[in-house]
Amino acid sequence: MGANQTFSIASIPADGVGKEVVAAGRRVLDALAGNSNGKFAFDWTEFPWGSEYYARTGQMMDPKGLEALKDFDAIYFGAVGWENVPDHVSLWGLRLNITQNFDQWANIRPVKFLPGVQSPLRKADNTELDWVVVRENSEGEYAGLGGRNLSGRGPGNEVALQTALFTEKGCERIMRFAFDLARTRTVKKVSSVTKSNAQQYGMVLWDEVFNRVALDYPDVQTESVLVDAMSAKFILKPEDLSVVVASNLNADILSDLGSALAGSLGLAASANLNPERRFPSMFEPVHGSAPDIAGQGISNPIGAIASAALMLDHFGLHAEARRVEAAIEAATGAGHLSRDVGGDATTEDVTEAIIKALTLAPAAV
């Protein structure tokens, strides 16, 4: 019997441990589909883009790659970066090439504290902590505007300009996204991250738009916090957080801090969303390609598998997404921990434990 619904997914493992964790996530999703009583299935198409592709072709992805990707239901991404390609070339040539051209303007990065994983944050031992960072993903400090000039003046005289872009449209749409998300959570609160005391143009516009948008959500608590103070708040008062909305750079840094507080970057999931669904959205773990452990079979697949759960939510399979998250918690709670979180389990061990927990749970009807 065929599946009632088949989702077409472009798989881009890319570099390093990205290949290992994407393979793990695909196994979990296929196991979930196989236990769905024919409710859904996944049709995978893998693309070989990344640093190895660059070594052969001089490009990070096929020049017609965006055209090839645009009709998929979603993109499942691994990690990008290797020693043969400068980091800014690999990032802009592949990942940012996709996120920018597909207007994946909303990036969400949940901060999850898992059972069995020891957090360096002492407060996590006896306080319920659960927040999500919402990142403006299309402009801000990563708009790619600027340039390098005046090198003809000789050594030591070159000038580089990196321009941060803030538009009313960009600020408003990410803030409304954050407020709408907050309305779905137990604690209905949005914390805006700013640096308008020093960045008197772009971030003052950010603040003004936040204050205006907040008027349309009287049921949601708000606060505006300078980014340096917010980094301290992540550590000292994380129980006050629910939804944190920030610009591209600030959210990138803060979400990594949140993941480290949860125990490891290897646990962190993310979704790059085009909420209007004009283009496919892309789901990826937060960690990098980790050349130091790539190929050893010891990378943590949880970030990639939790990203797969975010993809299930995007497809409207909310009960199935919760099953995957529950299976992750069951695996870590039972002590199936990879080396980055103090255990000795391999990538295969953790993946198998999650699949086993999935098969023990009842399938959604």
Q: Which residues are catalytic?
A: 142, 195, 228, 252, 256
Helix (H) or strand (E) holding 100: helix 96-101
Residue 251, token pair as written in the block: 């959210």
- The pair phi, psi for residue 175, each rounded to 5°, is -70, -40
Measured CA to CA in angstroms, residue 14 lies from 42, 109, 112, 167, 285 at distances of 20, 21, 25, 32, 12
Distance CA 282, CA 95 (A): 9
The position carrying tokens 């979180």 is 341
DSSP lists the bridge partners of residue 128 as none
Torsion over CA: 198, 201, 202, 204 (sign): positive
Check if the beta carbon of residue 109 is closer than 8 Å to that of residue 241. no
Q: How many Å is the maximal CA-CA distance in the chain?
A: 71
How many CA atoms does the CB half-sphere of 16 hold within 13 Å? Answer: 22
DSSP letter string, 124-160: GGTS--EEEEEEE-SSEEEEEEEEEE-GGG-TT--EE
Position 303: which residue type?
Answer: G
DSSP letter string, 312-352: HHHTT-HHHHHHHHHHHHHHHHTT--BGGGT--B-HHHHHH
